[in-house]
Chain A
Amino acid sequence: MADDIQKTVKEYILKEFLPGEDPEELTETTPLITGGILDSIATLKLVAFIEERYALTLAAHEADVEYLDTIADITHLILSKKP
């Protein structure tokens, strides 16, 4: 389950925000927001993608660097929302 989520989120970030990047470079601990990969608009797009793909709703305070800065954080957040 966790591996599937990681793979899906990674593919989305590569396609949308890092076109042309070597997939090997993006790891589960690469800082996304603090590392300048996701700006505020990109973060909103990512949240919209997660909500739609996993049919869940993120609380307003979760659309934030504390929960979304790495693929590992994002995966953890999604898993915590799943029944």
Chain B
Amino acid sequence: MMTSHALHQLLTHAAQLYPEHTAVEEPEQGAITYRTLAVLSDHLRDRLCALGVQAGDRVGIYMRKSIDTIAAIFGILKTGAAYVPVDPGAPAARNAYIMNDCAVKVVVIEERFASKFCEELAQLGTQPQFLRLVGTGGGEPLRQALEQEQARHPAPVVATALLAPTDLAYILYTSGSTGRPKGVMLSHDNAVSYVDWCSEMFQPQAHDRFSSHAPFHFDLSILDIYVPLKHGATLVLIAEDIGKTPQQLAPLIAERRISVWYSAPSILSLLTQYGNLEQHDYSALRLVLFAGEVFPVKHLRALQALWPRPRYFNLYGPTETNVCTFYEIPVHIPEERTAPFPIGTTCSHVQTKVMDEHGNEVSPGDEGELGVSGRGVMQGYWNLPEQNSRAFLVDSAGVQWYKTGDIVVAGNDGNYIFLGRRDRMVKRHGYRVELGEIEAGLYHHATIKEAAVIAVPDEASGVKIKAFLSCRDAKRPSLIELKRFCAEHLPLYMIPDLFSWHEALPKTSTDKIDYQRLKEMA
């Protein structure tokens, strides 16, 4: 296997070795071979360059997950620009903020999202160029859009960009505590080093069939997309609506003969409970990988009983480093075990240590913050110098460490055990949620005077999000109105489960909201 320094070279090499293999399947929509995917993404590269995109630019992706989107990702990478995928289901205002924040030059967008998005962009005083697709599915709408443009304004064939390993490949926006999402900048080398670790660890083969369950604006997508496409394997795209409906997902995994599954634990818990897994044939499945949140042991044990054949791995890492530690779940989980499994030991492409606030390694057995350094660590947050200086720490040996914010302890066997967060970030359905972003969203409501949000542990779903509110008016908005308001201003996974109204929220002696008291009240 040749070594690649840029993500798009993985596809180029695989297309030379396996031109007629199926690269991507999109159930109900079609499939595409390596050769065709390479050619389609070349055509997009040429069109984007004709629109003025250059190496070092950003290009937005505002589309449903599809073969068209995969081709768009590679087309953008081939220009030397970084791709910026957004959640097409999130409020248009949030997506406009993101695209404006990182100053995308072009957005590849489905027509149905364009008008609302344009309005929001206009309010921000910006207007990137659009490459509009009538829809998505099987790669055909992208091919059509490129052909039509080509007929109107022929784009010359250009060379694929030659890049340095530190050049940006993509920016993933995650929840920001100030109420604004923040862009995590990741380079080609950040991703390639991780993909190479996956190759070494999971030994992918050209006959493997990988799931793509996570959305493309989520960091799980990096393994999903690039690991199979490096090895000539097949990627099976799972549509968002099917991906959250266990009754539809369970037969799909069996029928599509998925051999490597990767997702957040929440959908695996739902498959266990509602998927009727015993009715289907999962003999092709050899690996079950999960990441993003703690997998309740009760559900993991039940899943292992239903799917006894595959090996199970807990992968850990924030978007800023992607996966940096891993742990293989034992074949037999004792009945009495309730404690979550460790996050494990360090992946070979990064270094980790448990450190105090000065970056000094703590004594064995003491808790501290997990620091990560090495090839997997992000370049920084887009245009947020203050947050960048807070995110990194240089230790006495001169090594720069990313501070994960996760408090861990190393167990006797050397595996890290996750204990909690240093700040107000929680994981919900695998998504990272800054409680401050929910509060900022609630404050947009005209009648809300005070808003404070906390996470309450919940056995079934991991955490429940509870909002404490006080109101300016005598008449409070109804719960239904509040939830609808949230649905318009926040991604769906950030909508609180519970709301409670108060005359005023409890305060500390310095007149700040007393979160400790709120937790007791919850």
B-binding residues in A (CB < 8 A): 18-22, 25-26, 30-31, 34-37, 39-41, 44, 48, 58, 60-61, 63-65
User: Nearest Cβ in chain A — how far from B17, in angstroms?
Assistant: 37
Kindly state the separation between the CA atoms of A29 and B394 in the bound complex, as whole angstroms. Answer: 57
Complex partner residue of B247 from A19, A60, A65, CB under 8 angstroms = A60
Given known A18-B479, A39-B493, A44-B274, contact A64–B487 (CB-CB < 8 A): no
Given known A20-B479, A21-B478, A30-B480, contact A39–B492 (CB-CB < 8 A): yes
Is B244 in contact with chain A by the CB < 8 A criterion? yes
- Would you call B247 and A18 a contact (CB within 8 A)? no
Kindly state the separation between the CA atoms of A39 and B492 in the bound complex, as whole angstroms. Answer: 7
Is B246 in contact with chain A by the CB < 8 A criterion? yes
Kindly state the separation between the CA atoms of A25 and B475 in the bound complex, as whole angstroms. Answer: 14
Is B484 in contact with chain A by the CB < 8 A criterion? yes
Kindly state the separation between the CA atoms of A55 and B251 in the bound complex, as whole angstroms. Answer: 23
- Would you call A63 and B247 a contact (CB within 8 A)? yes
Complex partner residue of A44 from B241, B246, B429, B493, CB under 8 angstroms = B246
Kindly state the separation between the CA atoms of A21 and B493 in the bound complex, as whole angstroms. Answer: 21
Is B178 in contact with chain A by the CB < 8 A criterion? no
- Would you call B479 and A25 a contact (CB within 8 A)? yes
Kindly state the separation between the CA atoms of A39 and B460 in the bound complex, as whole angstroms. Answer: 14
Kindly state the separation between the CA atoms of A19 and B461 in the bound complex, as whole angstroms. Answer: 18
User: Nearest Cβ in chain B — how far from A9, in angstroms?
Assistant: 15
- Would you call A25 and B248 a contact (CB within 8 A)? no
A-binding residues in B (CB < 8 A): 241, 244-248, 251, 270, 274, 429, 460-461, 478-481, 483-484, 486-487, 492-493, 495, 498
A40 cross-chain contacts in B, Cβ below 8 A: 244-245, 270, 429
Nearest residue (CB) in B for A61 is: B248
User: Nearest Cβ in chain A — how far from B25, in angstroms?
Assistant: 19
- Would you call B246 and A21 a contact (CB within 8 A)? no
Known interface pairs A36-B495, A40-B270; 16 further A-B residue pairs with C-beta atoms within 8 A, sorted by A's residue number: A20-B479, A21-B479, A21-B480, A25-B481, A26-B480, A31-B484, A35-B484, A36-B492, A37-B480, A44-B245, A44-B246, A44-B274, A60-B247, A63-B245, A64-B241, A65-B241
B480 cross-chain contacts in A, Cβ below 8 A: 18, 21, 25-26, 30, 35, 37
User: Nearest Cβ in chain B — how far from A13, in angstroms?
Assistant: 10
Kindly state the separation between the CA atoms of A36 and B58 in the bound complex, as whole angstroms. Answer: 32
- Would you call B484 and A41 a contact (CB within 8 A)? no
- Would you call A36 and B483 a contact (CB within 8 A)? yes
User: Nearest Cβ in chain B — how far from A15, in angstroms?
Assistant: 13
B245 cross-chain contacts in A, Cβ below 8 A: 40, 44, 60, 63-64
- Would you call A36 and B484 a contact (CB within 8 A)? yes
B429 cross-chain contacts in A, Cβ below 8 A: 40-41
Given known A21-B478, A60-B245, A64-B241, contact A35–B483 (CB-CB < 8 A): yes
Nearest residue (CB) in B for A24 is: B478
User: Nearest Cβ in chain A — how far from B5, in angstroms?
Assistant: 39
Kindly state the separation between the CA atoms of A37 and B481 in the bound complex, as whole angstroms. Answer: 10
User: Nearest Cβ in chain A — how far from B240, in angstroms?
Assistant: 10
Given known A60-B248, A63-B245, contact A36–B479 (CB-CB < 8 A): no
Nearest residue (CB) in A for B484 is: A35
- Would you call A36 and B486 a contact (CB within 8 A)? yes
Complex partner residue of B478 from A25, A31, A58, A63, CB under 8 angstroms = A25
Kindly state the separation between the CA atoms of A27 and B248 in the bound complex, as whole angstroms. Answer: 29
A39 cross-chain contacts in B, Cβ below 8 A: 492-493, 495
Complex partner residue of A48 from B274, B484, B492, B498, CB under 8 angstroms = B274
B247 cross-chain contacts in A, Cβ below 8 A: 58, 60, 63
